[in-house]
Every structure is written in C-alpha cells, then in structure tokens.
Amino acid sequence: MQFEFRPYQRRFRQSLKTHYGEWSVREGILIRLDDRFGEITPLEWFGSESMQDAIELCQSAPHDIDLDWIQQIPFPACQFGFESALNSEQFQAMPQSALMSDEWRSLWDQGYRTFKLKIAIAPIEIEIATVQALLDQLPQHANLRLDANMGLTESETHQWLEFCDQSRIEFIEQPMRTDQFETMLKLSQMYRTAIALDESVSTLAQLKACYERGWRGIFVVKPAIAGFPSQLRQFCREHQLDTVFSTVFETEIGRRAGLQLAAELSQRAVGYGTTHWFDELNSEDFEELWKSL
C-alpha cells in the first residue's frame, strides 16, 4: 500500500480549560494508505507517544507499507491510525454527549441530551454551586457527567460523590490521580454515583491492568490513543466492559473509526460531541480534509 501523511494544527474556538490548564491548538496527522484514510492524534499527557514520536514514525515509514510493518508499530496513537485506516467501514449513529462550553441551550437545540462538564478547575464550593445551578436549569431528562481530570483529593471526591448521590449525575470521571487506584476502587463501592476511569485506562495495557485489579465501574475508552482497535475490541467483548467511548479531538477521519467501535462495544452516549469547539477542519468529507492540508 502506498503511504502518505500530512500533519495538521487545529485551533480551538476558545481554549479548553481543564485541571491540566488551557489547551488552545490540537495537532495531529492525517494518513493515507492508497485511497483509505486514517488519523493519528497523540495525547502525551495521557501517556501516549508525543506528536514528535508520531511524526518521526511516519517519516521513517517505507513508501510502500505492508501489514507486517503495521503490526510492528510500537506507539498506541499510531497503532490506531494505521489499523483503523485499513478497516474503515461505515459507522452507525450513537447518542452523543456534548462537552460543555458556556451555553447548554444551543447544544440542547442541536439535539444533545447528555452533557459533560470539566471540574477541579475552581474551588470546590464554587463548582458544586455551579453544577447545582446548572441542574436547576437543565430539563429533567438531561444527563450530566463531570470530569475532574485527576484534580480532586480524597476528601473532595467524597464531597462530590455525596453531592452527586443527592442529585442526578451520571458519573464522575477520573476524580483522582492514577496512583490513587485503591482509593477510587473503595469510593466506587461506597456511593450510588458511578466513577469512570479515564487517565488510568488510556492505553489497552493500562485498561487490562485496572480490570485485573478489580475495577468493575465505568471505563472511558479513547480509541484514538488505546492502541490496535482489533485488540481493544477483543478485550471489551470478552469481559463485557461498561464503557464510554470518548474523543481526543480527532477530525472526522479518526472520529468515524472511534464511533464505529463504540457502536459495536458500548451502550452509553459517546463523548464525541465536540465539533462546536473548532472552526477549522470540520469537514465530513475525508478527501476534502486531506486536500485542505
């Protein structure tokens, strides 16, 4: 197969604020194998390879690539990009969760019924009050998820879970650091509100390790950084994992491949409602995306 690649940069309409700080430009790589497309979107702070690693891998690739070469790729975001290019089929629509910016109403009008809010950015009392105010406004049948990106202490996590148990929150995502696994496991058994692991399970190897250590709560799966889709599919099926599939801000190319896996493997609304965060590279036509770079 003839291989080509094109790096891209995509600016957020407004920077995304998380516990890690602000994110203003997404960098990735579109790849092409004959007439099939794939996408590489590293997320180094989640433990994937860096953008530099991915570029170097693409630069060192032969012009004519075969399956053996693809199977030897050592990096998870590259594994996803190449293998999903081989297998790009059609995808099925799934209910989507919108990553909230300021306004939920326009997202509601676009059809979203599940929303996700980043927390652990401001002091906890302020954030709990904000979430309460939001719940007071949202229609009863809306779902709300909270994502702390590892930013809470154990006592703050208790505080949030107590609040969530009194309200209607679907889950809290990655409340604490990955080295606090045992504490999160204990907390997941103490409250009605579920905990979803995200940073703890960003690659398939980590996901397997958390399963083996006893995690039976929700697993956030970011297929674009999880490694070979074929291996991910096999593990999720074998163990009937309760999963939420989630974007790392791919273009439509990586996103379709992720949604296709989600439709096969997950029951929950997918965390791919993020197109409102970008003005550029929003086309749904792969050829057009490719040509624009």
User: Which partner, Mg ion, ligand OSB, none, binds residue 247 by CB below 5 to 8 Å per kind?
Assistant: ligand OSB
- Which two structure tokens, joined as six digits, stand for 206? 């980590």
| Residue span binding ligand OSB (CB under 6 A) among the ranges 71-79, 87-95, 244-252, 283-291 | 244-252
- Which residue lies nearer to ligand OSB by CB, 116 or 256? 116
Q: 8 near 30, Cβ under 8 Å?
A: yes
Note whether 10 binds ligand OSB by CB under 6 A: no
Is 17 designated active site?
Answer: no
Among 79, 84, 143, 149, binds ligand OSB (CB under 6 A): 149
Note whether 147 binds Mg ion by CB under 5 A: yes
Q: 264 near 242, Cβ under 8 Å?
A: no
Of the candidates 75, 222, 205, 242, the residue with the CA atom closest to the CA atom of residue 149: 222
Task: Tell me whether residue 6 is exposed, middle or buried, using C-beta atoms within 10 angstroms of its C-beta: 0 to 12, 13 to 18, 19 or more.
Answer: middle
DSSP 95: -
Is 118 designated active site?
Answer: yes
Task: Tell me whether residue 154 is exposed, middle or buried, using C-beta atoms within 10 angstroms of its C-beta: 0 to 12, 13 to 18, 19 or more.
Answer: middle
Site for ligand OSB in 80-139 (CB under 6 A): 97, 99, 116
Torsion-angle region of 120 (φ positive above 0: left; ψ -120 to 50: alpha; else: beta)? left
Rg (CA), the chain: 19
Binding residue per annotation — 287?
no
Q: 183 near 164, Cβ under 8 Å?
A: no
- Which residue lies nearer to ligand OSB by CB, 29 or 61? 29
Site for ligand OSB in 256-275 (CB under 6 A): 271, 274
User: Which partner, ligand OSB, Mg ion, none, binds residue 83 by CB below 5 to 8 Å per kind?
Assistant: none
Among 143, 243, 247, 260, binds ligand OSB (CB under 6 A): 247
> Which residue in 116, 186, 222, 291 is the catalytic one?
222
The least CB distance from residue 60 to ligand OSB, in Å, is: 27
CB neighbour list of residue 21: distance below 8 Å, 6 or more residues apart: none
Residue nearest to ligand OSB (CB): 271
Rounded Cα distance, 26 and 73, in Å: 23
- Which residue lies nearer to Mg ion by CB, 1 or 117? 117
DSSP 44: G
User: Which partner, Mg ion, ligand OSB, none, binds residue 97 by CB below 5 to 8 Å per kind?
Assistant: ligand OSB
Q: Which residues form the catalytic set?
A: 118, 222
**Binding-site residues from annotation for Mg(2+):** 147, 173, 198
**Binding-site residues from annotation:** 147, 173, 198
Residues near ligand OSB (CB under 6 A) are: 43, 97, 99, 116, 147, 149, 198, 246-249, 271, 274
